[in-house]
Structure 1
C-alpha cells in the first residue's frame, strides 16, 4: 500500500464455509477521522504447514454513498444464508466527528455470498431501524469489529420461522456529547433491523459474545464496552454487562474487573467452546476446563492494550496489546474477584485497536491489531494458540 495511505479502524472474521479470513479496514490519507477515503479488504486462505495466502488489497467501491466517507466496518455472517453483511457508517463530506450534527451520519451495509468477490448495492437503513430515531442523535457508529449471529431459542425468543438473530454492536452520541452502547439486531435474515435498549452507563465502542452455561441449558450475551467518562490519566473500569434476552437489554456486572487505559480504547471479545480435559490436555491446551454439565460451557478471550502511557508520555498513548482469558461468567461482586487471567502480550510497544477471530483449528485464534510507533501505527495480523494464554487465578469456576 502507498506510504501516504494509512489503514485504520479494522475488523477480522473467519468464515468456515469459505475457508477464509476476511479483513476490512478504513483507508485514510491521514490519521484524522475526516481523512477517511473508503473501505478496503483482503482475504486470507490457510494453506498447508500453517501458512496463509493473502489476496491483494481491494477497494470496496460498492460500500459508499456519493458525498459521504465510509467508516467503521463491522461484518456479520449469516449461517443460514451463507451471506456476509458488512455494516459501516457514512459521514457527510469532511466534517470531523466532534463537529457533526444530527442527520449527517448514515447507517449502511453491503452483502456478499462469495467471500467478497462481488458485493450487493449499498443499502441505507438510517431511517428504517425500529425502536430508535437515529436522526435524533449527534452521530452514531457501528463496530469497529465483528458482529455476531446467535441462537434465540436459548433465550426463549425463537419463532416458527427462524431462531437466528444477527447482532451489530453500535453506539450513539447524544446532542450533549454523551455516548451509550447498544445493539442493532435482525430476526429475519437481515430484511429488517431493530435497536436494543442503550446501556445506562456512559460507554461507546463495544463487542458482544454468546456464552452458554449450565450444560448448555442457558445462554447469555456478554458485552465489553469502552468506558468514555475517564478524564486525563484516570484509569476507570471498563463497562461489562450481560443480556438474557439476546441483546435487547443489558445489566451491568457487579464486579468490573477490567481497567481502561486513559481515555479508553476499543477492545475485542470472542467466545469459544470451553476446552475440557480428563487427565490429559486437549489439542495441547494446558488448562483444566469445567466438566460437562456444570459451570461455563464457553470461555472468553479479550484483547486490549494492557498498559497506558509511561511517565512523561501523552495521555493517549497505549502500549502492549494483550489477550486475556476468562473461564466463567460468575460475578463475584467483590474487589478480590479476578475472573480474567494475566494478558499474553501479542505486541510489546505502541498499540491500539484490535479484533479477534476464531481460527480453523480448535484452540487456534487470530488477531488483527494496530501496532508500531507513534504516528506510524500499522495493521498486523497475528495468530496464537490458547495454550499461550495465562489461566485466570483460581482456575475454572461455576456458571452465572
Structure 2
C-alpha cells in the first residue's frame, strides 16, 4: 500500500525572534464573500500567562484557492488590564454577522492559580463584524448576562478555542468549559474542582446570550460541537481520563446527557484540544460508474503527479513559494501564504478530480476530527472520520497530515470547490521541535480523507519520537 499523502501546508503564523508566539488557532468560513478568517492568540512567550491579544489573517477563497492578507491585530478585542485568549468565532448566517468570542483574563493570572484558589479572573467577551472580518466593533462584556450568579461556583472558565456552530433552528452555540468548585471549605482553601464542558447559546441572532447546562459526570474540558442525526447536538471534549469524552444534547445545548469515554479516540498525556466538524454525507449514485469507490481500491484516474509542498526543494523559510503553494496532494491551485510577497511565475496546476466515497453512509451526517496522534506527547496531527456518529466505535484510524510536533487545531468546511464535491481546511499548531513554533494551514478533499484513513486491521504506527519538549497548556 502506498504511503499516505500529506496535504500541502502553508505557515500563517510563525514564532518571532522577539519571543512573540502564536497559539490557539480558530478558523471560520464566512458566507457569500467566501472569506476565511484565521484567528490566533499572540503571546509574549509560549506561556498562557503571557497571552497578549488576538490576531487575524483574512483569506479570499476563489476556485478552490486561498489568498491570505497580512496579519492584523484585533485592537477592539480587549478589556483594559486583561489579556485576550481563546478566540472562538461563530457566524449568524441570517444576518451575516460574525461573533468572535474570547475570554479576557485579569493581568497575568494563570488558569492553574484560579483553579487552586477558586477565584475566577476571566470575563466572557465578544466583538462582532458585519463585513466578513474587515472591521470589528467594540468589545461586549457578557459575563453577568450569560453566566450571572453561577459564576460564584466557578473557579474559572473559557470558550473554545475553535469555532462555534449555528443550528437549523437559528440557535447560535459557543463551546465552553468551566472548572466547577465541588467543595470549597477545607481549612480555608479549595478542596476539589472538576472541569465540565457546556455551551453558551443565543436564540435571537446574538442580541442576548445564556449559559447551558454542564456535562454532568465525566471530567471534560475544551470542546467543540456539531449537529448530528436525530436532532442531536454532539459534544467532543478534551479529558484527563485517557480518552476523549463525548456527550449528547436533545435540547440544542440547553442541557447535556451524561458523557461517555470514546475508547477509539485516545488523548495525549494531560490532554489536548481537538476539533470536530459535521458535514452532510455524500449522496450515493445508482450506478457503479457514478458510485462511491471503496477506499481500499484505486480510483479510476491517475494519481496527482507531484509531491507535497514539504517535499519541494524550493520551499522558502515561511513554508510558501512567493506566497503561493504549488500543486500537492490537493492537486489544485492554492495561493496561500504571506500576501506581502509577490508571486513568482505561475506553476503548472493540476485540477482536483471528482471525489468518490467508500461505502453507503448509514446516515446523513458524518464527522471529521483533528487531534495529535501521539500518546505521550503532542505529535503528528491526524484526521479521523466517523460515518455513524455518535457511535463510540465508528471512528477510523487517523490519517496523519503532518508528522512532527503539533497541538491545537480547528477544522472548517469549504463546501464544493471546482472539480470536487467537498473540501475542508485545517488550521493547526505545528513545529520542528515544539508544537508552538508555527500555526499551519492546509486544504484537503473528502476523497483524500477516504483514500488515506487506514482501513486495514493493522493501523500505521506513529510512535512518539524525541522531537523535544511539547509543553501542554
TM class by shorter-chain length? 0.7 to 0.9
The whole-number CA distance in structure 2 between the counterparts of 1:3 and 1:103 is 33
1:257-276 aligned within 5 A: 257-276=264-283
1:330 Cα deviation after fit = 5.4
C-alpha contact 1:300 1:327 (8 A) present in aligned 2: yes
* Partners of 1:91 and 1:324 in 2: CA distance: 33
Counterpart selection for 1:379 from 425, 436, 439 = 439
Q: Would the aligned equivalents of 2:59 and 2:67 in 1 still touch at CA under 8 Å?
A: yes
Instruction: Give the 3-state SS of the residue equivalent to 1:257 in structure 2.
Output: strand
Deviation string, structure 1 residues 278-335 (Cα, Å, up to 9, x no partner): 2324631232233xxxx411110000011223xxxxxxx2111000000012537xxx
Q: Kindly indicate whether residue 340 of structure 2 is the aligned counterpart of residue 285 of structure 1.
A: no
Query: Structure 1 residues 379, 330: closer, same or farther in 2, change over 3 A?
Result: closer
After TM superposition, the score normalised by the length of structure 2 is: 0.71
Alpha-carbon distance in structure 2 between the residues aligned to 1:261 and 1:178: 19
Aligned residue in 2 for 1:129: 146
**Larger Rg computed on CA atoms:** 2
Cα shift readout 1:139-181 (whole Å, capped 9, x = no counterpart)? 1000000000002xxxxxxxxxxx3100000000134342111
In structure 1, the residue matched to 2:405 is: 350
In structure 2, distance between residues paired with 1:203 and 1:74:
18
Q: Distance in 1 between matches of 2:35 and 2:25?
A: 17
Q: Indicate if the aligned counterparts of 2:430 and 2:439 stay in contact, CA closer than 8 A.
A: yes
Q: How does 1:322-337 map to 2 (within 5 A)?
A: 322-329=382-389, 331=391
* Consecutive unaligned residues in structure 1, runs of 5 or more: 152-162, 213-217, 231-235, 310-316, 333-337, 395-400
CA contact (8 A) 1:325 1:392 kept: no
Corresponding residue to 1:106 among 110, 119, 123: 123
Asked if structure 2 preserves the Cα contact closer than 8 Å seen for 1:109 and 1:123, the reply is yes
- CA shift, 1:8, in A, is 0.6
**What corresponds to 2:86 in structure 1?**
72
2:101: which partner in 1? 87
| Matching of residue 181 in structure 1 with residue 197 in structure 2 | yes
DSSP 3-state at the match of 1:307? coil
After TM superposition, give the deviation of residue 240 of structure 1 in Å.
1.1
Structure 2: runs of 5 or more not aligned: 1-13, 182-191, 293-353, 457-473
Matched positions, count: 355
> Is 1:52 aligned with 2:66?
yes
Give 2:27's aligned residue.
Answer: 12
Which position in structure 2 is the counterpart of 1:97? 111
Contact persistence 1:339–1:392 (CA under 8 A): no
1:213-252 matches, cutoff 5 A: 218-228=230-240, 230=241, 236-251=242-257, 252=259
Equivalent-residue separation in structure 1 for 2:433 and 2:155 (angstroms): 30
Distance 1:65 1:131, change over 3 A: closer
Shift, 1:392, TM fit:
8.1
Report the secondary structure of 2:373's partner residue. strand
* Matching residue of 1:144: 161
| Kept after mapping to 2: 8 A contact 1:276/1:288 | no
Alpha carbons 2:266, 2:375 under 8 Å: kept: no
Partner of 1:164: 170
| TM-score using structure 1 length | 0.84
| 8 A Cα contact 2:31 2:96, kept in partner | no
Residue in 2 that maps onto 1:296: 363
Q: Which stretch shows the higher mean deviation, 269-278 or 375-384?
A: 375-384
Aligned to 1:366: 425
Cα 1:131–1:37 change in 2 (3 A) is closer
- Tell me whether 22-31 or 11-20 shows the greater mean CA deviation: 11-20
Distance 2:405 2:264 in 1: 23
